[in-house]
Structure 1
Amino acid sequence: MMADSEPILIWGAGAIGGTVGAALRRAGHPVHFVDIEAAHVAAIADPARGLRIEGPIENFTVHAPADTPDTLRGRFRRVFLCVKGHHTEAAARALLPHLAEDGFVLSLQNGLCETILEGVVGRARTVGAFVNFSADWIEPGLILYGGRGAMVLGELDGAVTPRLRELHAILSEFEPGAITTPEIWGYLWGKLGYGAMLFAQALGEAGIADCLARPELLPLWRRLGGEAVAVAQAQGVRPMGFNGFDPAAFAPGASEEAARNSVAAMVAFNRPNAKTHSGVWRDLWVRHRRTEVDVQIAPIASFGAQHGIACPAVTALVAMVHECEDGRRPMSDNNLLELSR
C-alpha cells in the first residue's frame, strides 16, 4: 500500500517494536518510537546513528522521531504496543493520555496481554495480534532480526473491521505472509503452548533447535504442550498451529508419534534461524532481568485451576524460572532433565 501521512506510534522499540517500526519507517510511514531506555531513544533520533537492523533477513538503518514516555507529546490514532508482558499495564496507562478519541492499540506482544490492555484502554480500542518472528535487542540503536515467522491480526470479538483491514495492509509491508483471523484467541493460546517450551529451553545452554531435538525431552514437550492445549479447550478456545507447532499433536489422547512429528517440524523451522536462543534465555543469562513468566506462562495454570485441570509441568516450570531469576539456580541443560521427571 502507499504510505500515508498519519503517524504510527510504536510504544516499546525493542526486539518486536524496533524491527516492525524500522520496516514501516523504511516503507515510508511516519513512525514515532517511544521507549524507556534513554540511550536507545537517543540512538534512534540521532541523525548520525539511527536504528540499525541486522541479520540474515536484511540490513538497514532508519532515522525517526523517538521519545521516552516523559518527553512524548501529542495524541495518536494508531498505537502499536510492543513491551514485555509484565510491563503491559504500566505502559497502557502511560500511553492512554496520548491515545486519540478514535484511536486504538494493537498488542504486538506475547501472552494474553490483550486481557490486560483492554482493562486500561477499553475492549473497543484493543486489537489483538500474534507474532512469531525472531528478533533480539542487542544494544542501543541495534536489533538483530534473526528470522521470519507467522504474523496474525484479529479483533477480539472476531469481527472484520476497517481498522483490521488497514492494519493488515500496513503490516503486510513488514511480513508479506501476514493474515487476519476471526480466531485471534486461538493463535494466542497456541503460542502459550509453544511458549512454554521456549521458557523451558531458557533454563539450559542449548539453543532452541538443539533443545527441542533432544529425544529424552519429548515427554516434557508433551506435558507442557498438553497442559496448555487442555486448558485452552476448557476455555472454549481452539488453539491454532503455526511454524511447526501443531496443537492437535499435544491434545489429550494424541499419540507420541504426532508430538514427535510436530517437534521435528519446530526444529526444522528454528534450525536456520540466526536467533539461536529464546528471548527468555537472553533475559535470564545476558540481561539478568525478570522474565515474562508470570504474565505469559503462569496463567495457563491459573486458568486450569478454574476448570479443575492440574498443570504440574507448567507450575514446576514457573517455579524453576523464578529460581534462575533469583540466582538460586545456574544455567544448565540438566535443569530440563529435572523438569521432565
Structure 2
Amino acid sequence: MADPILIWGAGAIGGTLGAYWARAGHDVLLVDTVAEHVEACRTTGLTIFGPVEEFTQVIPAVTPQELTGTFSRIVLAVKAQATKVALPMLAPHLKADGFVFSAQNGLNEIEIAAAVGPERTMGCFVNFSADWHAPGRILFGSRSAVVVGEIDGSIRDRTRAMHALCREFEPDAILTDDIWSYLWGKMAYGAMLFGTALNHDSMSANFADPARLPAWLALGREVVAVALARGVTPRGFGEFDPMAFAPGKPDEAAIPVINWLRDFNAKSAKTHSGIWRDLAVRKRKTEAGAQLNIVPKLAAELAIPTPALSAVGRLIADIEEGRREQSPETFGELLKAIT
C-alpha cells in the first residue's frame, strides 16, 4: 500500500505507534484535534521519553479540518468515548477497499463495524503503558502485549501486513484468529483499572491491598461471565489469566493473578492508569461511559447481574461531575456495592 498510514488520534497509543513507525521509515500521517500537539509533531517533533527509550521524531500531522485525501489504513487511536465523533469524520477519508484498525481500549470494534462495515474493520489488543504529557511529549512507560486480528476470525494478506507492521513496534506482537478473546480478556483487566482510579493510590498499591481484593475478584468475574455467555473464552497477557475469574473458580485461582498485576504494574514508569490521569490531572471525562459501561448493557441482555461494574461506572461518573472525590471513601462505596 503506497498511501501513508493514517493515525487518527496521536495521543498515548497513536502517538507512540506513529513515532516508532515513522522512525522505521514508514510514511505516517497523524491526525489530532489538539492544534498545539499537531504543530509540535510536525515541526520540532514528537518526543517519546521514559525507561523504554527516548527519541524525538518529526512526523507529518494535521487537524481533522486540514485532512484531505483517502487512505487504505486508518489506525483509530482515540479514547473510546471519542469513537462516535471520530467515525463520521474519518469515514470520507477511508478508501472503499480500506480498513479501520482499532488501536484502542475496550470493545470499540463493535461500533466501528456498525459504522464502516465489518469487512472494513480490524481488531487490535494493545496493552503497553503510555501517557500523553504535553504537546509533543509522550511517556512510554513499559512494553507489553500487542495482538492483531480480523473481527471475523479470518487471516488475510492485510492482517499479516498489519501484524508485520506492529512487530516493528513490538517484536513479540501476536497474529490471532480470535481477537475477541483478547479484547474481552483486556476488558477484565480494564475494569479493574477503572476501579483503581477511584482513589489516588498507584495501580500496584491498589492490587497489593488485601482489603481491596473483593473488588478485583468481583470485577473480573462479572466481565468473564458476560464474555463466556456471549461465546467468547477470554485470553490474557503475561500471567494475567482472565479465566481464573470464570464462574465457579475459587478465590485461590485468582489471587496469584492479582498478585502478578501488582508486580507487573510496579515495574512500569506509568504508576497510575490513564483513567486516573483523566480525572486527577487532565480534569476530563474518562472512557467509562463508552468502554466500561457497555459490559453491563450486554450483561442485561443476558440477565447477568453486574453490581461491581455498575458501581464503578456510577462512581466514576460522580467524580467526573464533581459529586465525589477520588478517595478511600469512594473506593469504599465500591466495596459496599458488592457485599
What TM-score range do you get, normalising by the shorter chain? over 0.9
User: What corresponds to 1:77 in structure 2?
Assistant: 72
Moved more, 237-246 or 6-15: 237-246
Match of 1:285 in 2: 280
| Alignment of 1:185 onto 2:185 | no
Contact 1:19-1:145 at 8 Å conserved across structures? yes
Q: Does 2:12 align with 1:15?
A: yes
Q: CA deviation at 1:247?
A: 1.3
| Identity score, percent | 51
2:120 equivalent in structure 1 = 125
- Structure 1 residue 5: deviation in Å? 5.1
Shift of 1:333: 2.7
Give the Å deviation of 1:334: 3.1
- 1:181-238 per-residue CA deviation (whole Å, 9 max, x = no partner) reads 1111111111111111000101101111111111111111110000000011111111
Q: How does 1:26-37 map to 2 (within 5 A)?
A: 26-37=23-34
Q: Equivalent residues in 2 for 1:146-157 (5 A)?
A: 146-157=141-152
Which one of 197, 215, 220 corresponds to residue 215 of structure 2? Answer: 220
DSSP-derived class of the 2:124 partner: strand
Residue 111 of structure 1, aligned match among 78, 103, 106: 106
Q: Which residue of 2 aligns with 1:259?
A: 254
- Given that 1:244 and 1:269 are in contact with CA atoms closer than 8 Å, whether structure 2 keeps it comes out as no
* Whole-Å separation in 2 of the counterparts to 1:180 and 1:267: 27
SS at match of 1:116: helix
Contact 1:171 1:178 in 2 (8 A): yes
Q: Which amino acid aligns with 2:227?
A: A
* Structure-1 residue corresponding to 2:35: 38
Deviation at residue 241 of structure 1 after TM alignment: 1.3
> Are 2:187 and 1:206 aligned?
no
- Which of 97, 119, 125 is the aligned partner of 1:102? 97
Distance in 1 (alpha carbons) for counterparts of 2:96 and 2:301: 36
Whole-angstrom distance in 1 between the partners of 2:80 and 2:199: 22
Note if contact 1:244-1:263 (Cα within 8 Å) is conserved in structure 2: no
Partner of 1:308: 303
Q: Supply the distance in 1 between the matched residues of 2:2 and 2:177 (Cα, whole angstroms).
A: 29
CA contact (8 A) 1:42 1:66 kept: yes
Q: Quote how far apart the aligned CAs of 1:242 are.
A: 1.2
Alpha-carbon deviation of 1:78?
1.1
State the match for 1:66 in structure 2.
Answer: 61
C-alpha contact (below 8 Å) 1:34/1:68 kept by paired residues: yes
Contact kept, 8 Å, 1:323 with 1:329, in 2: the verdict is yes
Q: Deviations over 1:161-195 (max 9, x none)?
A: 00000001111000011001111111111111111
Q: Is 2:154 the counterpart of 1:159?
A: yes
Separation in structure 2 between the aligned mates of residue 291 and residue 243 of structure 1, nearest angstrom = 26
Among 264, 271, 274, the residue aligned to 1:276: 271
Question: Number of matched residues?
Answer: 336
2:312 to 317, 324, 327: 317
Q: How many angstroms apart in 2 are the aligned matches of 1:188 and 1:209?
A: 22
What RMSD in Å do the two structures reach over aligned CA positions? 1.0
Matches of 1:281 and 1:111, distance apart in 2: 16
- Extract unaligned runs of 5+ from structure 2: none
Q: Which amino acid aligns with 2:245?
A: F
Segment drifting more, 92-101 vs 132-141: 92-101
Stretch moving more, 180-189 or 14-23: 180-189
Please state whether the residue corresponding to 1:254 is helix, strand or coil.
Answer: coil
Task: Output the CA distance in 2 between the equivalents of 1:304 and 1:93.
Answer: 28
Aligned partner (choices 47, 61, 64) of residue 52 of structure 1: 47
Give per-residue Cα distances to partners, 1:226-264, cap 9 Å, x unaligned: 000001111111111113321121111111111110001
| Alignment-mate amino acid for residue 21 of structure 2 | L
Extract unaligned runs of 5+ from structure 1.
none
User: Could you tell me whether the CA contact under 8 Å between 1:243 and 1:266 is conserved in 2?
Assistant: no
Work out whether 1:136 is the aligned partner of 2:131: yes
Q: TM-score, normalised by structure 1?
A: 0.97
The alpha-carbon deviation at position 64 of structure 1 amounts to: 1.4
* Letter of the structure 1 residue corresponding to residue 40 of structure 2: A
SS in 1 for 2:169: coil
Shift in Å at residue 120 of structure 1? 1.4
Per-residue Cα deviation, 1:266-314 (whole angstroms, up to 9, x for no partner): 1121111000000000001100111110111111111111111110111
